[in-house]
Structure 1
Amino acid sequence: SVAFSPDGSILASGSSDTTICLWDVQSQSLKGEPLTGHSSWVQSVTFSPKGNLLASGSWDNTIRLWDLQSHTLVGDPLRGHTNRVLSVTFSPDGNFLASGSTDCTVRIWNVTTLTSAMAIHTYDHHPLSIGPAWGGMYDDGWIRSTTGELILWVPASYRAKLDDKRLITILGHDMSSRVRLNFDQVCLGEDWTKCYNPPSS
């Protein structure tokens, strides 16, 4: 996994050798020693919106937060997932961190207290990515799958409240409320102009 810092000056790379390297983009050189602590493949890395923290998710079932000034671990590893962590992403304000795992959960973590604020069970769905670069809601209001398929259009007044890019659950802006999406009774025309109700049983 690789990720750029918000200002584009640093590239972070997670590796199967359990380390995270920070690279100076301009000089193309390593910035300090690799970050160590994970005991298995580092599957996902992401910078906080301010660029002062880096989060990493690993096959060792943990998430770790790193202080980029001191290149040290912030607090203890975040534990709660029971299987590999595949994806991590910060909320736009940097106060929360979301993680997706092969244990079929998405967890929301409070970055200040380093505690789990919510766990969303996705049942048989592995949240491979929960960041905005892979699927999710676009500026035009369309929610797209990871393959680019149109799923649902969201009116402008509701767009600010969406955070979960896998669309299994919609999270409230305060992270305390959630609505599970269910498309079992939806039938859409191929040209995306008509929607039909299924026949009554």
Structure 2
Amino acid sequence: MIPPSPETPDAAVAGLAREVDGLRRQVAPLPPRVDTLSQLLAELGETVAALNARKAQTPAPSWLMAPADPEVTGGLLDELVGWLAQVYLRYPDAVESFPECWCWHPHVVEELLWLMHAWAAAYQGSAASVALAGDWHDRQRPGVVRRIKATAGVCSRENHQTRPGWPDQVTGAPTVPSEAELGRIGQWWATAREEPAPEPPQSTSPIATTLRGAR
């Protein structure tokens, strides 16, 4: 029998079969590698998303809950005063309602700190956007301006000075009303909230005494 020459159809089919077999061997390892690569890409995407979410949700520092550390509180004020000069006090309504004794009012410092970080998130954060900037201008900044004006806008440095005959200024942490009754309230809410609350004792505050006397 004469072997087929390279020009015969049988030889061509045999050569094609060898090529297909070689390609099959090369492609066979690919599916596991593709699956591994897909898994790595998915994990990387989840990691990046988590990091972005963490950056976007970074909490603003709190003046009211700041550590008892002069370096920390001094750093917060230094950062804030720079931002006030560069951004906040560029707005006329903010200037008009900004008391010169602002740093003597803890609630004012607290408002300004979070507003500063909201501005940074809107303009400089990883999730900065036109929408966040618009919300800062339209809602957040005017709200802070309005509350500062209502609570401290007419105050002055003299109001924080102690002079003979001047009214005493309330400083330090406020006293929470009815704090002594919290144990009873907690017990009631935990065990009998469907029943009437325990009756509070008679108040001894000057205001309550005056009201009772006027009846």
- Give the structure-1-normalised TM-score: 0.25
- Give the structure-2-normalised TM-score: 0.24
Q: Which has the higher strand share?
A: 1
